[in-house]
Amino acid sequence: MPEHIFARGKRGIFHADCRYMGQRIRCSLGTTDRRYAERQLAEHKAAIERGDYRAYVGKFEDFAKQYVDQALPQKSDHSQERYGQIIRTHLLPFFKGKSLAEIDCQLVVTFKLHREKTGAKPSTLKKELRVLKDIVRLANKGFQLPTAQDYPLMKWANKPKQFDKSMILEEADFLKIVGFVMEKYKKICLIGMFSGLRLADVVNLCPKEVDLRGETIGKYQGKTTNWVEIPICKKLKNTLNSLVWPLDKNQSFFPEVSTKAVTTNVLRACKKAGLEKHSFKSSRHFTATQLTNNDVPIEVVKEWMGHQSINTTMIYSKVKKDTLKRAANAFDDDEVSAKCPQKAK
């Protein structure tokens, strides 16, 4: 047998051609660095020792399909749609044709840098890398994403969106956005605004989850599966009363509406309204902020929003300047004249 690894072609890419434990290893190692090529070959041999070499050299697209068919159906509707879009739009175009053996830390870093160039924010990239890890782990259980400590380029380059007080939406601001939304999506926006429900939960809302007499919406959230009971205010009740109620109590009020279509249309409406930093999710921020600034305890807001942690609730609920000024009255109520104690003679 010739030397285990050798450079080939004008670029000098190293290839492997050898046998190990009766298994033929014959492939490109995808690098011009001999030491790195030797490490790659060692990974191949380790896969043979584990007994999963055939899976290890399988193509990414095959395992992506396996993930979509077997793992995704176990997740919430929201996650199925989001993760499926990540695979189709970002992972497959980049990793298609590559074997899982080729997907190492260096390639993951390259993917991360590529996505940042297109404007991907840290929150988006975290989801994409998590899905990538889950797919690779179908064949390589010990696969780990590169850390920023070992790979400095894994540090986030695009800073997350910074919040400032100007981003707090008043009711008039959100209604202005709704004014530019397509007619068939307006009521979806109003329900989101006065209930705090996520878009997917509004689109999937059905009669059995709405109790107009008891003035409550009770449902399991699609994203977290947490149960929430949301009081129905007068404005929300008017919107719910104006809907066409299907005979089947399990049928959605909006059976032919997709979340993607609503998201796109609301983003356009925000731009037309001069509020480009916002999206449908801003309705959820509006709800939490409105409750907080009307003296609703943060623990109650947490239950309303269906959050598992108060820390998450505090991200959504922002304190307005007027609320801060009003808080200063606490020092002015029941004024007591403070006198300096006299020194005893």
Highest mean pLDDT among 19-23, 45-49, 153-157, 261-265: 261-265
Dihedral (CA of 230, 234, 238, 241) sign: positive
pLDDT at 262 over 60: yes
pLDDT at 290 over 50: yes
Looking at the DSSP bridge assignments, the partners of residue 257 are none
Looking at residue 194, its pLDDT comes to 96
The pLDDT tens digits of the residues spanning 45-77 come to 888 887 777 767 788 999 999 999 999 888 877
Looking at residue 3, its pLDDT comes to 61
Nearest partner of 125 among 98, 155, 105, judged by Cα? 155
- What is residue 72's DSSP assignment? G
Identify the residue with better confidence: 247 or 54: 247
Distance separating alpha carbons of residues 292 and 329, to the nearest angstrom: 17
Mean pLDDT estimate for the chain:
87
Q: Distance from CA of residue 289 to its chain's centroid?
A: 21
* 222 in Cβ contact with 201 (< 8 Å): yes
pLDDT at 1 over 50: no
Distance separating alpha carbons of residues 273 and 333, to the nearest angstrom: 41
Identify the residue with better confidence: 155 or 195: 195
Identify the residue with better confidence: 272 or 44: 272
Q: Write the CA distances from 285 to 78, 216, 228, 288, 291, integer angstroms.
A: 19, 20, 17, 5, 10
Tokens 């007619």 appear where? Answer: 183
- Mean pLDDT, residues 17-34 taken together: 84
Distance separating alpha carbons of residues 186 and 105, to the nearest angstrom: 46
- Mean pLDDT, residues 329-336 taken together: 68
Identify the residue with better confidence: 295 or 76: 295
The pLDDT tens digits of the residues spanning 86-95 come to 999 999 999 9
For residue 140, give both structure tokens.
């390589």
pLDDT at 162 over 60: no
The pLDDT tens digits of the residues spanning 198-225 come to 999 999 999 999 999 999 999 999 888 8
Looking at the DSSP bridge assignments, the partners of residue 220 are 227
Looking at residue 340, its pLDDT comes to 55
- What is residue 110's DSSP assignment? H
Length of the chain: 345
Identify the residue with better confidence: 181 or 39: 181
Q: Give the pLDDT band of residue 160 (cuts 50, 70, 90).
A: low
- Mean pLDDT, residues 155-165 taken together: 65
In the chain, the percentage of residues whose pLDDT exceeds 90 is: 51
Looking at residue 57, its pLDDT comes to 74
Residue-range domains of the chain with CATH: 5-56 (no CATH), 60-154 (1.10.150), 166-324 (1.10.443.10)
